């Protein structure tokens, strides 16, 4: 009887040691992967915070024909750096900014949104969207900075954890939204750091 208990005890001890060894090996093997994946995640988080800062700054320099009590910012298309915007934002003036995601072909964009943040859109979607916004007081910010000549008021550019923007004066002039001249000073700054 003593032999059966002792042999069962040895069997369980062997299993525990094997389980601990396997767990340790898995932990050691996965550590380099974890260390490598942290850098891009941190960069994305830093850019998202910087984008939120820039977007709120831009919105604070804008004046609509009828000032809304709460700004409606609509995110359209796949984006990389809007996660922080969706956490709930308030301008420095205390006015809240409601952020929602809409499809590019949503017919209510011009009537629902005070501002749009554009992600990656195909050329036809972008063209149709700007056609629907023509003559409407809707501010536009493009995450894809290469598209600034096509409709957007502001286009973001990214370098490491910094965000800069350029202004499309032609688009601003044709809209019903007034932009304070100081925003031009901001667009000339080197970068906004989070």
Q: What is the CATH number of the domain that holds 152?
A: 3.40.50
- Greatest Cα pair distance in the chain: 94
CB atoms within 10 A of CB 106: 15
Q: Does any domain span residue 36?
A: no
CB atoms within 10 A of CB 172: 19
Q: Does any domain span residue 116?
A: yes
Render each residue's pLDDT in the chain as its tens digit; 194 residues. Answer: 343 444 444 444 433 443 334 333 333 333 343 444 444 568 888 899 999 999 998 999 899 999 998 999 999 999 999 989 998 788 777 788 999 999 999 999 999 999 999 999 998 999 999 999 988 999 999 997 666 767 889 999 988 778 888 888 888 888 889 998 887 666 655 444 44
Task: Please name the residues in contact with 155: beta carbons below 8 A apart, sequence gap of 6 or more.
Answer: 141, 142, 144, 145, 146, 147, 148, 165, 166, 168
Q: Is 76 helix (H, G, I), strand (E, B) or coil?
A: strand
Q: Does any domain span residue 79?
A: yes
Q: Does any domain span residue 107?
A: yes
Tokens representing residue 192 in the block: 């906004």
């Amino acid at each position: 009887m003593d032999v059966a208990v002792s042999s069962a005890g040895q069997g369980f001890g062997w299993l525990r040691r094997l389980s601990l060894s396997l767990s340790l090996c898995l932990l050691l093997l996965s550590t380099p992967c974890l260390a490598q994946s942290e850098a891009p995640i941190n960069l994305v988080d830093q850019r998202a915070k910087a984008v939120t800062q820039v977007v709120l700054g831009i919105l604070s320099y804008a004046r609509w024909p009828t000032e809304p009590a709460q700004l409606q910012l609509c995110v359209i298309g796949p984006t990389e750096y809007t996660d922080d915007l969706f956490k709930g934002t308030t301008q420095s003036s205390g006015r809240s900014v409601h952020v929602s995601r809409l499809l590019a072909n949503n017919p209510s964009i011009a009537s629902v949104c005070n501002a749009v943040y554009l992600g990656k859109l195909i050329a036809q979607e972008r063209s149709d969207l700007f056609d629907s916004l023509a003559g409407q007081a809707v501010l536009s910010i493009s995450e894809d900075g290469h598209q600034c000549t096509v409709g957007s008021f502001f286009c973001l550019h990214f370098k490491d954890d910094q965000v800069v923007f350029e202004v499309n004066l032609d688009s601003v002039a044709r809209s019903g939204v007034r932009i304070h001249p100081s925003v031009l000073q901001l667009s000339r700054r080197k970068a906004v750091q989070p």
